[in-house]
């Protein structure tokens, strides 16, 4: 596999450059800067005005130079943001598709907590490590100032927010706004069918508690978010892992097979949009099929949908709930990923189990605190949220492109991954001889947190994978970390091979 370098492009430079027109000479100057890494993929180009001033040229000359660089695929115009050094498409092969011919395993009780605890306590021994293991964006990608101002306004307007108990199930104004926004995603519910929760994870807990008893079987995607496995473990539930594809998510035919052959399945949990860790988005036809399969089997379909608004492009894809006609789908989501990780605000619609979900929420933790809800209602009620989402998606796209280029350049031959259509992480398939558990340990020693594939399944099936996230806006640090991870992986494979040939 050829690695991406910029020498090839530098060869475009004409040795007789000084006899070229000014706009062409200036373009070449930038071409070389890009070629030798002075300007890097994703870097912002000077504004037209700055370019004109810096080089003492007219608008026409500046425009022509940029047109030329753009034609040669060296820079990109981004709407309302200016020009950026283009991030080359990666040339790594896509991650492997799951083997659907493989018979599904048995449902099994989950024992993932010890593994995750070990990782967390190792993390804590390296508090300064660069975090490529998380699942939220950096604070600087969220509207910190606007939310801070909104919170101050809310406190001035309603000083008793902190000292008076809020209404059951959440702030009525917020629930009404959420119901209205849900309509955009194809979900038709009233404000009283929205129950506010402590993040999406409490919503998923309530959903599972509403439809299962300890010992029951729950079908989950394989791989899936380790937090879900922890919930199953804590509730004494059995997981039946259904293969999921890095491109299209949950394998519908495998689910169909499982529903027909495992009569004790009480719920199916799916992340339909930007699955964690795969980054897959289910095609509409698959979404429709999954809802229909579950409805026909009489099995609750719990969708965990916190990433929907992070999918590139508009409108955002629909939730599974949009296809629900009989209350089969329990919809869980949060604003932790899209807006404010510190506010811990999520919500749930319990489908036909909604009254039971309400009872469980009241018994488990009463209503949420009011302040965060009032702040959120203020923000969602204006156009500010839509504007923020456009900026956030654009920033994440830039980060992903740059990180994808970094992985493609730095990681050893045999590495594979599928570039997701949004969000903040990559599910990277390592070459065969590399264990992600060992890679995790070595990376941490080297000051970088990654999330090993072992925690995304109860079956040990994903030791060859790591989830890498690009949460930070400090892209130079991330570039450097990816280069170091690539070198580390290469060294570990070489050592494995040396060890292997000695035996």
**Distance (Å, whole) CA 164 – CA 162:** 6
Among the listed residues 285, 274, 347, 357, the one whose alpha carbon sits nearest the alpha carbon of residue 316: 274
CB of 374 to a copy of itself, least distance (A): 10
Q: Residues 117, 123: contact at Cβ < 8 Å?
A: no
CB of 266 to a copy of itself, least distance (A): 15
Task: For a copy of itself, give the closer residue by CB, 201 or 408.
Answer: 201
By CB under 8 A, name the one of 194, 201, 252, 424 that touches a copy of itself.
201
Task: For a copy of itself, give the closer residue by CB, 67 or 391.
Answer: 391
Q: Residues 265, 258: contact at Cβ < 8 Å?
A: yes
Task: For a copy of itself, give the closer residue by CB, 4 or 371.
Answer: 371
Q: Residues 446, 122: contact at Cβ < 8 Å?
A: no
How many residues touch a copy of itself under the rule CB under 8 A: the total is 60
Contact between 83 and a copy of itself per CB under 8 A: no
Q: Residues 489, 415: contact at Cβ < 8 Å?
A: yes
By CB under 8 A, name the one of 265, 360, 428, 430 that touches a copy of itself.
360
Could you report how far apart the first and last alpha carbons of the chain are, in Å? Answer: 28
By CB under 8 A, name the one of 95, 132, 372, 492 that touches a copy of itself.
372
Task: For a copy of itself, give the closer residue by CB, 42 or 341.
Answer: 341
Task: For a copy of itself, give the closer residue by CB, 137 or 468.
Answer: 137
Instruction: Enumerate residues 117-156 that contact a copy of itself by CB under 8 A.
Output: 117, 120, 134, 136, 139, 142-145, 147-148, 151-152, 155-156
Contact between 369 and a copy of itself per CB under 8 A: yes
List CB contacts of 253: < 8 A, sequence separation 6 or more. Answer: 100
List CB contacts of 160: < 8 A, sequence separation 6 or more. Answer: none
Task: For a copy of itself, give the closer residue by CB, 20 or 117.
Answer: 117
Task: For a copy of itself, give the closer residue by CB, 99 or 145.
Answer: 145
What is the total residue count of the chain?
Answer: 503
Task: For a copy of itself, give the closer residue by CB, 474 or 495.
Answer: 474
Among the listed residues 316, 297, 273, 152, the one whose alpha carbon sits nearest the alpha carbon of residue 211: 297
**Distance (Å, whole) CA 27 – CA 70:** 10
475-496 residues labelled b (16+ CB within 10 A) or e (exposed):
beebbebbebbbebbbebbeeb
CB of 333 to a copy of itself, least distance (A): 15
Q: Residues 289, 330: contact at Cβ < 8 Å?
A: no
By CB under 8 A, name the one of 53, 364, 382, 459 that touches a copy of itself.
364
Classified as helix, coil or strand, 422 is strand
CB of 362 to a copy of itself, least distance (A): 7
- 222 - beta bridge partners? 243
Query: In the stretch 215-254, what mask flags binding to a copy of itself with x, by CB under 8 A?
Result: ------------x--xx-xx-x------------------
CB of 339 to a copy of itself, least distance (A): 8
Instruction: Enumerate residues 156-175 that contact a copy of itself by CB under 8 A.
Output: 156, 159-166, 168
User: Residue holding tokens 């929907």?
Assistant: 308
By CB under 8 A, name the one of 20, 58, 213, 261 that touches a copy of itself.
213
CA atoms within 13 A on the CB side of 250: 31
Give the interface segment with a copy of itself, choosing from 13-21, 66-74, 337-345, 473-481 (CB under 8 A): 337-345
- Count of C-beta atoms within a 10 Å radius of residue 9: 16
Residues that bind a copy of itself (CB under 8 A): 113, 117, 120, 134, 136, 139, 142-145, 147-148, 151-152, 155-156, 159-166, 168, 198-199, 201-202, 205, 209, 213-214, 227, 230-231, 233-234, 236, 336, 339-344, 359-360, 362-372, 375
């Amino acid at each position: 596999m050829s690695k991406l370098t910029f020498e090839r492009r530098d060869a475009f430079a004409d040795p007789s450059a000084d006899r070229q027109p000014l706009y062409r000479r200036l373009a070449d100057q930038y071409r070389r800067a890009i070629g030798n890494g002075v300007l890097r993929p994703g870097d912002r180009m000077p504004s037209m005005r700055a370019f004109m001033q810096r080089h003492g040229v007219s608008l026409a000359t500046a425009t022509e130079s940029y047109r030329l660089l753009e034609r040669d695929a060296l820079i990109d115009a981004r709407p309302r943001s200016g020009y950026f050094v283009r991030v080359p498409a990666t040339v790594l092969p896509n991650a492997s598709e799951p083997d659907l011919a493989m018979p599904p395993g048995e449902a099994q009780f989950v024992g993932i907590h010890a593994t995750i605890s070990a990782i967390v306590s190792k993390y804590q021994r390296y508090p300064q490590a660069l975090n490529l293991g998380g699942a939220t964006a950096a604070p600087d990608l969220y509207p910190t100032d606007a939310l801070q101002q909104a919170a101050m306004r809310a406190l001035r307007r309603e000083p008793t927010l902190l000292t008076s108990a809020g209404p059951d199930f959440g702030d009525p104004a917020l629930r009404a706004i959420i119901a209205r926004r849900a309509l955009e995603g194809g979900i038709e519910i009233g404000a009283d069918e929205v129950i506010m929760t402590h993040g999406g994870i409490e919503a998923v807990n309530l959903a599972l508690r509403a439809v299962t008893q300890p010992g029951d079987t729950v079908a989950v995607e394989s791989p899936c978010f380790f937090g879900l496995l922890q919930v199953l473990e804590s509730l004494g539930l059995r997981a039946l892992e259904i293969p999921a594809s890095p491109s299209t998510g949950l394998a519908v035919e495998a689910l169909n097979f499982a529903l027909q052959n495992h009569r004790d399945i009480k719920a199916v949990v799916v992340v339909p949009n930007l699955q964690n860790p795969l980054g897959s988005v289910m095609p509409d036809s698959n979404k429709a099929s999954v809802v229909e399969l579950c409805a026909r089997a009489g099995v609750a379909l719990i969708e965990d949908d916190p990433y929907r608004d992070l999918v590139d492009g508009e409108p955002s894809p629909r939730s599974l709930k949009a296809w629900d006609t009989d209350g089969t789908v329990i919809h869980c989501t949060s604003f932790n990923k899209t807006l404010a990780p510190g506010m811990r605000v999520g919500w749930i619609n319990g489908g036909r189990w909604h009254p039971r979900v309400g009872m469980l929420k009241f018994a488990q933790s009463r209503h949420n605190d009011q302040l965060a809800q009032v702040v959120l209602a203020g923000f969602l009620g204006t156009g500010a949220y839509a504007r923020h989402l456009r900026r956030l998606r654009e920033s994440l796209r830039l980060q992903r492109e740059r990180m994808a280029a970094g992985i493609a350049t730095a990681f050893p031959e045999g590495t594979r991954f599928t570039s997701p259509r949004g969000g903040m992480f990559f599910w990277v398939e390592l070459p065969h001889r590399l264990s992600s558990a060992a890679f995790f340990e070595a990376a941490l020693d080297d000051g970088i947190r990654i999330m090993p594939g072992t925690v995304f399944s109860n079956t040990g099936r994903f030791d060859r994978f790591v989830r890498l996230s690009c949460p930070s806006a400090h892209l130079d640090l991330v570039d450097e970390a990816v280069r170091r991870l690539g070198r580390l992986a290469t060294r570990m494979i070489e050592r494995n091979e040396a060890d292997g040939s000695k035996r």
